[in-house]
Amino acid sequence: MRIVVVGNGMAGSRFVTELTDRTKDFRVTVMGEEAWQPYNRVLLSNVLAGGYGPDQVRLLDPSWYGEHGVQALLGTQVHHIDRETRAVIAASGERVPYDILVLATGSEAVVPPIPGVERAISFRTLDDCQQILARSTGASRAVVVGGGLLGIEAARGLAGRGLPVTLLHLAGHLMERQLDAEAGLVLGETLAALGVEVRTGVNVAEVLDDGVRLADGEFVPGDLAVLACGVRPLTRLAQDAGLEVRRGVVVDDEMRTDDPSIFAIGECAEHAGTVYGLVAPAWEQAEVAATVIAGGKALYRGSRLVTRLKARSVELAAMGETHLTEEHAEVVRFSHRAKGTYRKLVIKEGRLVGAIVLGESDAVGTLTHLFDRGGPLPGDRAGLLFPGLSGAAAADSPVRMPDSAKVCQCNNVTKGQIRACWEAGARDVAGVAAATRATTGCGSCKAAVEGIVGWLCEQEGVSA
């Protein structure tokens, strides 16, 4: 049976590895528009900041495809899907027949239709990242347009290279989808202390060679302009092929489209009315699709999202319904702006339905576990925000953490799975990552994995 995957990003490459792990009975062809080997898009901000090089964010070695019998057509743009003959037609005219087609086309950067926008560089791909780095070498100041996750990461990365940065955002506060107004304010002040000037409630009307002009006529200087204005799902191929498309390509719980021979996963897919823009849901969907295609049974029931900001010296986690007020839920909050700290719990019917943790905290692991499992909360709410105050060890300490606790959100890896890997011989983080993929997503769980491995080694008196 011939499997063709269109898209070789984080969803497409994960699907291919999941499928080959399950069966060798298929002939798999993956078609990627980018010439790069698949890479971890989540870590591009680290490349921008100079912490990683392109090779360090690569997801697969070039030799992997041949070793697993997978044909990789990199740098190949797909022009059309012929559902009648079951073939994918590349822009070059090459026809690639399929029995099952998996769409993992991802999303594209939103580029606002304003004069001079071609002078700016979108921050979305590794090619974009390299263009920004090349331009930053001779730049005196940068302007980043967009105060969501990507914009903040881009601004922090450039500031970390010593470049003065102004971050412009249309909404009244940063990351307005994930944060409430006070958290957005504290985050802005944290960034300001790191060299990023934050301007909210402003609208860019024109991009110039030496800066941008706002809608009110104000000029903001910057000879490097970076766009991070959001993304939209890439659905043209599916739409032209007559598949059902709303905001994304509509799929069922098996990740099938309305054509049973075509699946869609990742940022291009819409499940139960939701398009997910984070890596963890994309990897969950890839696993479901691979299981189903390999002949197994699996259903995707949606994802509970935990957003982590991956910017150096900025610790932020947000999850669930963070905007509910005291009129609709029990809300517990603590704010210390001078320290860059903001913590908020949103509780309904005794269960955690939302949380914001800004600033370094040992509460994140506990709160993520409670949010993900939906279990009842202890009566000591302050102890949830400040585990040390309760007199007991924090639940994200290896000693107190239950085996069911999810340590790696991106790959759904629990403490129990890490323990099983350790018992099977994995004595360091690299071994655990090879067996479970923990730490290979956003990387924010690395310290927790190190702690668990170290604790297990200590218990048995062996060297980590």
- Looking at the DSSP bridge assignments, the partners of residue 356 are 318, 344
pLDDT of residue 444: 72
Alpha-carbon distance of 370 to 352, in angstroms, equals: 7
| Residue 48 counted as domain residue | yes
Query: Is the pLDDT assigned to residue 53 strictly greater than 80?
Result: yes
| Residue 307 counted as domain residue | no
CA-based nearest residue to 14, from 304, 415, 288, 293? 288
Query: Is the pLDDT assigned to residue 397 strictly greater than 60?
Result: no
Residues 127 and 218 in one domain: yes
Among 229, 260, 277, the domain boundary falls at 229
For β-strands 224-227 and 231-233, DSSP reports them as unpaired
Residues 381 and 247 in one domain: no
Domain of 446: which CATH number?
1.10.10.1100
HEC secondary structure over the chain: CEEEEECCCHHHHHHHHHHHHHCCCCEEEEEECCCCCCECHHHHHHHHHCCCCHHHHECCCCCHHHHCCEEEEECCCEEEEECCCCEEEECCCCEEECCEEEECCCEEECCCCCCCHHHCEECCCHHHHHHHHHHHCCCCCEEEECCCHHHHHHHHHHHHCCCCEEEEECCCCCCCCCCCHHHHHHHHHHHHHCCEEEEECCCEEEEECCEEEECCCCEEECCEEEECCCEEECCHHHHHCCCCECCCEEECCCCECCCCCEEECHHHEEECCECCCCHHHHHHHHHHHHHHHCCCCCCCCCCCCEEEEEECCEEEEEEECCCCCCCCCEEEEEEEHHHCEEEEEEEECCEEEEEEEECCCCCHHHHHHHHHHCCECCCCHHHHHCHHHHCCCCCCCCCCCCCCCEEECCCCEEHHHHHHHHHCCCCCHHHHHHHHCCCCCCCCCHHHHHHHHHHHHHHHCCCC
Q: What is the mean pLDDT of residues 117-125?
A: 97
The per-residue b/e assignment along 110-148, b for 16 or more CB within 10 angstroms, e otherwise, is: eebebeebeebbbbbbbebbeebeeebeebebbbbbbbb
Q: How confident is the model at residue 183 (pLDDT cuts 50, 70, 90)?
A: very high
Residues 58 and 127 in one domain: no
263, 255 in Cβ contact below 8 A? Answer: yes
What is the tens place of the pLDDT at every residue in 126-141? 999 999 999 999 999 9
Domain of 333: which CATH number?
3.30.390.30
Residues 154 and 199 in one domain: yes
Residue 324: Cβ within 10 Å count: 18
Residue 352: Cβ within 10 Å count: 25
Among 353, 368, 394, the domain boundary falls at 394
CA-based nearest residue to 410, from 430, 431, 436? 436
| Residue 155 counted as domain residue | yes
pLDDT of residue 413: 87
pLDDT of residue 463: 58
Residues 123 and 206 in one domain: yes
Residues 161 and 220 in one domain: yes
Residues 212 and 351 in one domain: no
Query: Is the pLDDT assigned to residue 357 strictly greater than 50?
Result: yes
| Residue 305 counted as domain residue | no
CA-based nearest residue to 381, from 409, 399, 355? 355
pLDDT of residue 181: 96
pLDDT of residue 392: 41
| Residue 304 counted as domain residue | no
Residues 168 and 238 in one domain: no
351 Cβ partners below 8 Å, 6+ apart? Answer: 370, 374, 375, 376, 377
pLDDT of residue 245: 98
Q: What is the mean pLDDT of residues 183-201?
A: 96
pLDDT of residue 395: 46
417 Cβ partners below 8 Å, 6+ apart? Answer: 436, 438
Residues 390 and 458 in one domain: no
Domain of 193: which CATH number?
3.50.50.60
Query: Is the pLDDT assigned to residue 93 strictly greater than 60?
Result: yes
Residues 251 and 386 in one domain: no
What is the tens place of the pLDDT at every residue in 63-88? 999 999 999 999 999 999 999 999 99
What is the tens place of the pLDDT at every residue in 263-318? 999 999 999 999 998 899 999 999 999 999 999 999 999 998 899 987 778 999 99
Q: How confident is the model at residue 389 (pLDDT cuts 50, 70, 90)?
A: low
Domain that holds residue 337: 313-394
Structure tokens at 112: 């606002």
Average pLDDT, the chain: 91
Among 181, 199, 229, the domain boundary falls at 229
| Residue 19 counted as domain residue | yes
What is the tens place of the pLDDT at every residue in 408-460? 878 888 888 888 887 777 778 888 887 888 888 777 788 778 888 877 777 66
CA-based nearest residue to 237, from 368, 123, 82? 82
Residues 25 and 170 in one domain: no
In terms of pLDDT, which residue wins out, 440 or 32?
Answer: 32
Overall pTM > 0.85: yes
| Residue 173 counted as domain residue | yes
| Residue 303 counted as domain residue | no
- Looking at the DSSP bridge assignments, the partners of residue 315 are 310
Query: Is the pLDDT assigned to residue 404 strictly greater than 80?
Result: no
Domain count, the chain: 4
Residues 243 and 224 in one domain: no
